[in-house]
Amino acid sequence: MTFNVQNISISDNLELAAAVEAAAAETSKHDGIDPFSEQFLFGLRDARLNHQHWIIESAGKVEAVAASDGSSAELFVIPDARQQGRGIALLDAVLPTPVWAHGNFDGAQALAQAKGLRITRHLLVMAIEEDALKAAAQKPQTELVVANYAQSVERFGKEHVEKQWLKSNNQAFSWHPEQGGWDIERLHRGMEPDWFDEEDVIFFWDVPADSAQPLPEMAGFHWTKWHDEVSPGFGEVYVVGLSDDYRGRRLGGPLLNAGLQRMVEKGATRVILYVEADNEPAVKAYERLGFEIAENHVVYEISDMAEEI
């Protein structure tokens, strides 16, 4: 069966962007997992991201969508249009770009096998709930100053806070393809979504005892996220990072505790986080805290040298 795969700009067409968002929401409701990640959803309306899109429609209804940011791609087919060849048509359009499979369902595995693709990255979603969450949401045990973004800006000034935040983030994620190498524009873009709350970003500050000393160094941060797109809402350990000079001081646990405490204060009975599957020490640490694996997300790509994870 042959399909008309349209390579089309979505970010300058609000009606089409809304139709794709509706198709993604329909797919998410059926599968229990969002088919597009946050950045790819943003790319439907934000032309600054320069995402490329491919769409298959029928009788004015969006049936399948693929998107690429140049380094990776994502695609989905609505439930009623599956197993008819739309997925393979979109996959052919985006390859050889590496492709995310959120949930790594049987259909995604079948497409990957048909095209000879291998898994080159495996991302886990882990979740903690109810009593285990309450037990982990402890007041952080640290001599460092704990303050959220709003409190920090009031005390130390916006310029210093954001400069330190960028420094800490880029040191912690120098290796990361999405989170590393940020500049101030990228940081501000991350703060644009409606869900961003200045009080949901927790910083650990190393404040000099002598008030005459320079402004403090940021030891680390815990950026949390509140999800209200479903009811009841839930929390997310969005980003946790430590500055280079503060690693090896056992601050990771207190940072995690501080963010979980914030989420519980907002009413969370469930908190999730994302972690690379091959980061075994982190996975085991989260499991000891009470987190369990809830979802699997993988990247497929063409690579004779790739090793299955």
The model's pLDDT over 158-202, given as tens digits with 9 standing for 90+, comes to: 999 999 999 999 999 998 878 889 999 999 999 999 999 999 999
Within the chain, which residues score under 70 in pLDDT? 211-212, 304-309
For residue 283, say whether it is annotated as part of any ligand binding site: yes
Q: Which residues of 179-199 are buried (b: 16+ CB within 10 A; e: fewer)?
A: beebeeeeeebbeeeeeebee
**Cα gap 125→139, rounded to integer Å:** 24
What would the pLDDT profile of 71-105 be if each residue is shown by its tens digit?
999 999 999 999 999 999 999 999 999 999 999 99
For residue 308, say whether it is annotated as part of any ligand binding site: no
The predicted structure's pLDDT at residue 165:
98
**Domain positions in the chain:** 6-116, 126-295
For residue 41, say whether it is annotated as part of any ligand binding site: no
For residue 13, say whether it is annotated as part of any ligand binding site: no
Contact 55, 8 (CB under 8 A): yes
Please give the backbone phi and psi of residue 192, each rounded to the nearest 5 degrees, phi first. -75, -35
**Cα gap 256→288, rounded to integer Å:** 13
For residue 15, say whether it is annotated as part of any ligand binding site: no
For residue 225, say whether it is annotated as part of any ligand binding site: yes
Classify domain 6-116 at the CATH class level: alpha beta
For residue 76, say whether it is annotated as part of any ligand binding site: yes
For residue 274, say whether it is annotated as part of any ligand binding site: yes
Q: Which two structure tokens, joined as six digits, stand for 243? A: 């500055």
**Cα gap 225→121, rounded to integer Å:** 24
For residue 236, say whether it is annotated as part of any ligand binding site: yes
Classify domain 126-295 at the CATH class level: alpha beta
Asked whether the domain spanning 126-295 has the same topology as the one spanning 6-116, the reply is yes
The predicted structure's pLDDT at residue 95:
96
User: Which pTM was predicted?
Assistant: 0.85
Closest residue by Cα to residue 205 from 231, 177, 167, 178: 167
For residue 75, say whether it is annotated as part of any ligand binding site: yes
The predicted structure's pLDDT at residue 1:
77
For residue 77, say whether it is annotated as part of any ligand binding site: yes
The predicted structure's pLDDT at residue 309:
44
The predicted structure's pLDDT at residue 203:
98
Task: List the strands of the sheet with 145-148, edge to edge.
Answer: 6-8, 52-58, 61-68, 73-77, 99-102, 292-301, 118-129, 270-276, 234-242, 217-227, 201-206, 145-148
The predicted structure's pLDDT at residue 212:
67
For residue 220, say whether it is annotated as part of any ligand binding site: no
Q: Which two structure tokens, joined as six digits, stand for 236? A: 């997310």
The predicted structure's pLDDT at residue 304:
62
